[in-house]
């Protein structure tokens, strides 16, 4: 399937999906503390999603067994929630969630501190979030896709961290994963020209050490090869003629 340009009506639905997803993240963020399980977060996320008449897009996606991806410390993405995995003071936890509202999708991720964390881990979270905002400075009609990728990579590497190469952002709409793929590093070339009406999930995954990752025996959980920590930040973004519109973001939240 090729890149889709959304109509005004589709954009309205994606705005609504994004607003709800921002609330889902805010509500999950409020329960994060030492002693809760990663399954508690999944339960809260799914409850809020369903309370807004949305469908959790991750549940059963290619066999994924939960509604929220909960990835702790050296887990990069796709951590499977478990009632046995208890968050400890000093952990960092990445939450990735997706909703479908009236057939349209939104996808977003945030990394949270569990209790008091080290300054270095807080810096990893902050640089990851900021790299998204550095990237979307280039997310406007007429620019080329890899300008976003390059800005993310440059910012992350200037701060001494690395961007994951094996996983990328993506177009989004009726499907969670549409074209184009959006690397967080600069490939050869410029990438496609951006056009108003494109909706993109831009999602830097940033490792404190090596960019190399592998997948655990559960076939889902992606972890860093060197066991150093990783953070994730993602929003669904609408390309316009001017500034990009952040569909899954509210300034009073994270
Ligand atoms: N949010 C992820 C992405 O951006 C998808 C999660 S994988 C799933 O691609 F299986 F959990 F859905
Ligand atoms: Co995504």
* pTM of the complete model: 0.98
Distance from residue 217's CA to the centre of ligand 2 (Å) = 22
Distance from residue 169's CA to the centre of ligand 2 (Å) = 6
Per-residue model confidence as pLDDT tens digits over 147-185: 999 999 999 999 999 999 999 999 999 999 999 999 999
* Separation of alpha carbons 191 and 249, rounded Å: 26
Sign of CA dihedral 15, 19, 24, 25: positive
Per-residue model confidence as pLDDT tens digits over 230-242: 999 999 999 999 9
Q: Residues enclosing ligand 1, CB less than 6 A?
A: 58, 61-62, 64, 69, 78, 96, 98, 107, 201, 203
Q: What are phi and psi of 30, to 5 degrees?
A: -65, -25
pLDDT of 11 > 80? The answer is yes
- Closest ligand relative to 66 C-alpha: 1
Q: Is 135 helix (H, G, I), strand (E, B) or coil?
A: helix
Distance from residue 150's CA to the centre of ligand 1 (Å) = 23
CA nearest ligand 1 atom 11, residue: 58
Distance from residue 193's CA to the centre of ligand 1 (Å) = 25
Domains within the chain, CATH numbers bracketed:
8-246 (3.90.230.10)
Question: How sure is the predictor about 52, in pLDDT bands with cuts at 50, 70 and 90?
Answer: very high
* Separation of alpha carbons 75 and 29, rounded Å: 18
pLDDT of 137 > 90? The answer is yes
Q: Report yes or no: 123 and 160 within 8 Å, Cβ to Cβ.
A: no
Query: What is the per-residue DSSP string for 137-168?
Result: TT-STTSBHHHHHHHHHHHHHHTT-EE-SS--
Long-range Cβ contact pairs of 50-54 (< 8 A, separation 24 or more): 52/20, 52/23, 52/24, 52/99, 52/101, 53/101, 54/17, 54/20, 54/99, 54/100, 54/101
Residue 254's pLDDT is: 80
């Amino acid at each position: 399937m090729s890149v889709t340009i959304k109509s005004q009506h589709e954009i309205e639905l994606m705005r609504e999906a994004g607003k709800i997803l921002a609330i889902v993240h805010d509500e999950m963020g409020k329960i994060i503390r030492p002693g809760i399980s990663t399954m508690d977060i999944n339960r809260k996320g799914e409850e809020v999603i369903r309370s807004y008449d949305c469908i959790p897009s991750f549940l059963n996606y290619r066999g994924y067994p939960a509604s929220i991806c909960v990835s702790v410390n050296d887990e990069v993405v796709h951590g499977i929630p478990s009632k046995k995995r208890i968050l400890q003071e000093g952990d960092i936890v990445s939450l990735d969630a997706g909703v479908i509202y009236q057939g349209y999708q939104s996808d977003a991720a945030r990394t949270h501190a569990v209790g008091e964390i080290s300054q270095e881990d807080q810096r990893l979270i902050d640089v990851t979030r900021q790299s998204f905002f550095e990237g979307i400075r280039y997310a406007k009609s007429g620019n080329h896709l890899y300008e976003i990728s390059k800005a993310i990579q440059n910012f992350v590497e200037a701060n001494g961290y690395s961007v994951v190469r094996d996983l990328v952002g993506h177009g989004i709409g009726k499907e969670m994963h549409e074209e184009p793929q959006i690397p967080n590093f600069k490939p050869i070339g410029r990438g496609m020209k951006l056009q108003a009406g494109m909706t993109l999930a831009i999602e830097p995954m940033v490792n404190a050490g090596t960019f190399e990752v592998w997948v655990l025996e559960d076939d889902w959980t992606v972890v860093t090869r060197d066991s150093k920590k990783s953070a994730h930040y993602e929003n669904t973004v609408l390309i316009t003629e001017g500034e990009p519109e952040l569909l899954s973001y509210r300034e009073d939240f994270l």
